[in-house]
């Protein structure tokens, strides 16, 4: 992708000894090194009193455990040589003075600061970067969760803007770095046959399901703070819907695309409690770090309206949950039936549809159509025209996103107005909502979610 800016000339990784670096970031940097794309020094910063040897071991262990494994020692050596480490308290100016000196010695003038640390530390770190005189000309990379509601997201944006203009802020939503999500965007705007039907005249409803066949995987404490609506709906799934529903951008540059996404997000009507069904899998309350009377949802289903010329009256149903029967993320755009039942047949309501499988293992695109049985009668079956894509784990989301942030390509990062507009959609129901309804692990969540759909419609259940 064409870059809009100069490349950063150093990557500073705050939280280098933490979980995110261990599980995702080192693996992504190693993959970048394998492609020959890791050309900047990587300066790890954290509170632990570690040696660089310990950090290198941790990186190797993280890649072996959570990534594809270290199979290319030359690439790992590139990463090892690029790495250095500053152990120091974020509260002490000396930590940032050492960082400033390290950057100066490396000749770096445009570092990228990756804040892989809790958001509560952002303000302190950003102010210290300014005091140390190293914020100017730099860019900053931040992770989800970007706030816990609209007010806290606005506050985080205020803190970031104290030192960085919006054009230097890269907010990671790793879904945007996924190949199938990019396929979706490409499919919509690289084909002409879709446009005439991609609107309220032909689309009956849109469903997005993100099902995971596992629970909270030891992350009970984290999950208690978020719940499904904050964890994946406000970000990954509303971003997915914005790509599905947006108008054509003027071009493939970051601002044109993000302008159109932001418009759709702003046109989404804020959710009301009746639009939201919450579920909790049985056994969640026994997880480590979970309150014995927790009401946090591990399943969320919402019915959403987009008040725009294109989509007025078309419901968008979004559903996400842990401990579902399968792991699958799927979008299904159901078309209205033909205006007349010429062959006098009983057909399912959504015989015509477009189905995008976004993962995890299979990435595909399929069209639902009716075809006639051979024989005398005008009777037929519902079939799928299946367009299989290769399974594209060619480049992981983090590898792509970190590479883009270093290169200065902002297309796949969420802009301030998008993030805040998405919070505005969910904000009214973050606290004012119905109680979570228990469901059995391995099921599609509480039956109450069916009532969100208008009569004649049902949830589509992706298969594994
Ligand atoms: C994360 C959520 O953002 O996305 C997790 O915190 C979720 O709860 C994960 O499991 C899903 O992402 P992926 O890439 O594993 O499908």
For 127, counting Cβ atoms within 10 Å of its Cβ (0-12 exposed, 13-18 middle, 19+ buried), the class is middle
Which atom of ligand 1 is least distant from the CA of 397?
A: 14
Average pLDDT over every residue of 72-89: 97
Confidence band for 390, pLDDT divided at 50, 70 and 90: low
Q: Return the pLDDT at 264.
A: 98
Give me ligand 1 centre to Cα 164, in Å: 28
Q: What's the pLDDT tens digit per position in 181-196?
A: 888 999 999 999 999 9
Mean pLDDT of the chain: 94
Confidence band for 437, pLDDT divided at 50, 70 and 90: very high
Confidence band for 388, pLDDT divided at 50, 70 and 90: low
Q: Return the pLDDT at 1.
A: 43
Helix H, strand E, coil C: the string for 406-440 is: HHCCCCCCECHHHHHHHHHHHCHHHHCCCCCEEEC
Q: Is the pLDDT of residue 6 over 50?
A: yes
Dump the DSSP string for 214-225.
Answer: S--TT-HHHHHH
Atom 16 in ligand 1: residue holding the nearest Cα: 360
Confidence band for 106, pLDDT divided at 50, 70 and 90: very high
**Phi, psi of 133, deg, nearest 5:** 75, 25
Q: Is the pLDDT of residue 60 over 70?
A: yes
CA–CA gap between residue 56 and residue 92 (Å, rounded)? 25
Q: What's the pLDDT tens digit per position in 404-425?
A: 999 999 999 999 999 999 999 9
Distances (CA, A) of 417 to 3, 55, 94, 200, 375: 22, 37, 35, 26, 57
Q: Are 449 and 437 in contact (CB under 8 A)?
A: no
Confidence band for 2, pLDDT divided at 50, 70 and 90: very low
Mutation probe of ligand 1 site: the residue of 144, 145, 174, 220 with most atoms within 8 A of C-beta? 174
Q: Return the pLDDT at 167.
A: 95
Check if 232 has its Cβ closer than 6 Å to any atom of ligand 1: yes
Confidence band for 361, pLDDT divided at 50, 70 and 90: confident
Confidence band for 461, pLDDT divided at 50, 70 and 90: very high
Q: What's the pLDDT tens digit per position in 157-187?
A: 999 999 999 999 999 999 999 888 888 999 9
Q: What's the pLDDT tens digit per position in 212-245?
A: 999 998 889 999 999 999 999 999 999 999 999 9
Q: Is 460 a catalytic residue?
A: no
Q: CA angle, 208 as apex, 303 and 311 as ends, to 5°?
A: 60
Q: Return the pLDDT at 364.
A: 87
Give me ligand 1 centre to Cα 236, in Å: 9
State the residue for tokens 């629970």.
215
Confidence band for 389, pLDDT divided at 50, 70 and 90: low
Q: Are 169 and 254 in contact (CB under 8 A)?
A: no
Burial pattern 249-284, b for ≥16 Cβ within 10 A else e, equals: beeebbeebbbbbbbbbbbbeebeeebbbbbbbeeb
CA–CA gap between residue 261 and residue 196 (Å, rounded)? 20
Q: Collapsing DSSP states into helix, strand and coil, what is residue 147?
A: coil
CA–CA gap between residue 435 and residue 295 (Å, rounded)? 7
Q: Is the pLDDT of residue 271 over 50?
A: yes
Q: Taking every pair of C-alpha atoms in the chain, what is the biggest distance, in angstroms?
A: 86
Q: Return the pLDDT at 454.
A: 87
Pairing of strands 139-142, 169-171: parallel
CA–CA gap between residue 304 and residue 237 (Å, rounded)? 12
Q: Return the pLDDT at 81.
A: 97
Q: Is the pLDDT of residue 394 over 80?
A: no
Q: Return the pLDDT at 220.
A: 93
Q: What's the pLDDT tens digit per position in 109-149?
A: 999 999 999 888 999 999 999 999 999 999 999 988 899 99
Give me ligand 1 centre to Cα 210, in Å: 10
Q: What are the percentages of helix, strand and coil residues in the chain, rounded to 5?
A: 40, 20, 40
Helices (H), 236-362: 238-245, 254-267
**Phi, psi of 340, deg, nearest 5:** -135, 140
Check if 428 has its Cβ closer than 6 Å to any atom of ligand 1: no
Which atom of ligand 1 is least distant from the CA of 219?
A: 8
CA–CA gap between residue 175 and residue 170 (Å, rounded)? 14
Nearest to 63 by CA among 100, 93, 91, 23: 23
CA–CA gap between residue 50 and residue 46 (Å, rounded)? 9
pTM of the predicted protein model? 0.94
Confidence band for 362, pLDDT divided at 50, 70 and 90: confident
């Amino acid at each position: 992708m064409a870059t809009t800016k100069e490349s950063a000339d150093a990557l500073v990784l705050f939280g280098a000894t933490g979980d995110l670096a261990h599980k995702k970031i080192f693996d992504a940097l190693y993959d970048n090194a394998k492609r020959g794309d890791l050309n900047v020094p990587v300066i790890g910063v954290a509170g632990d009193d570690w040696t660089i040897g310990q950090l290198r071991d941790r990186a190797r262990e993280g890649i072996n455990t959570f990534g594809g494994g270290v199979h290319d020692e030359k690439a790992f050596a590139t990463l090892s040589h690029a790495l250095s480490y500053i152990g120091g308290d974020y509260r002490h100016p000396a930590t940032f003075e050492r960082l400033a000196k390290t950057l100066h010695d490396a000749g770096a003038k445009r570092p990228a600061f990756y804040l892989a640390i809790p958001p509560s530390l952002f303000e302190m770190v950003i102010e210290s970067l300014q005091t140390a005189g190293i914020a100017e000309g730099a860019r900053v990379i931040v992770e989800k969760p970007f706030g816990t509601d609209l007010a806290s997201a606005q506050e985080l944006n205020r803190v970031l803007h104290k030192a960085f203009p919006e054009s230097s802020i890269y907010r990671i939503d790793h879904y945007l770095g996924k190949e199938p999500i990019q396929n979706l965007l490409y499919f919509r705007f690289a084909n002409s046959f879709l446009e005439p039907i991609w609107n309220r005249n032909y689309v009956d409803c849109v469903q997005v399901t993100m099902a995971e066949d596992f629970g909270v995987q030891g992350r009970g404490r984290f999950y208690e703070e978020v719940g499904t609506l904050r964890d994946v709906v406000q970000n990954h799934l509303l971003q997915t819907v914005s790509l599905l529903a947006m108008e054509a951008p003027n071009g493939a540059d970051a601002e044109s695309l993000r302008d159109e996404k932001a418009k759709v997000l702003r046109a989404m009507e804020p959710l009301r409690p009746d639009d939201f069904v919450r579920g909790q899998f049985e056994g969640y309350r026994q997880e480590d770090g979970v309150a014995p009377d927790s009401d946090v949802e591990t399943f969320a289903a919402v019915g959403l309206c987009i008040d725009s010329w294109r989509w007025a009256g078309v419901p968008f149903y979004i559903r996400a949950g842990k401990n579902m029967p399968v792991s699958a993320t799927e979008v299904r755009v159901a078309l209205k039936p033909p205006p007349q039942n010429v062959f006098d047949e009983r057909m399912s309501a959504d015989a015509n549809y477009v189905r995008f499988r976004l993962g995890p293992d299979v990435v595909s695109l399929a069209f639902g159509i009716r075809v006639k049985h051979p024989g005398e009668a005008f009777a037929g079956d519902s079939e799928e025209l299946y367009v299989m894509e290769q399974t594209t784990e060619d480049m992981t989301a983090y590898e792509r996103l970190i590479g883009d942030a270093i290169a200065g390509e902002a297309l796949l990062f969420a802009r301030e107005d998008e993030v805040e507009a998405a919070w505005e959609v969910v904000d009214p129901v973050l606290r004012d909502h119905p109680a979570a309804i228990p469901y059995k692990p391995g099921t599609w969540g509480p039956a109450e979610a069916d009532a969100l759909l208008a009569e004649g419609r049902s949830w589509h259940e992706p298969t594994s």
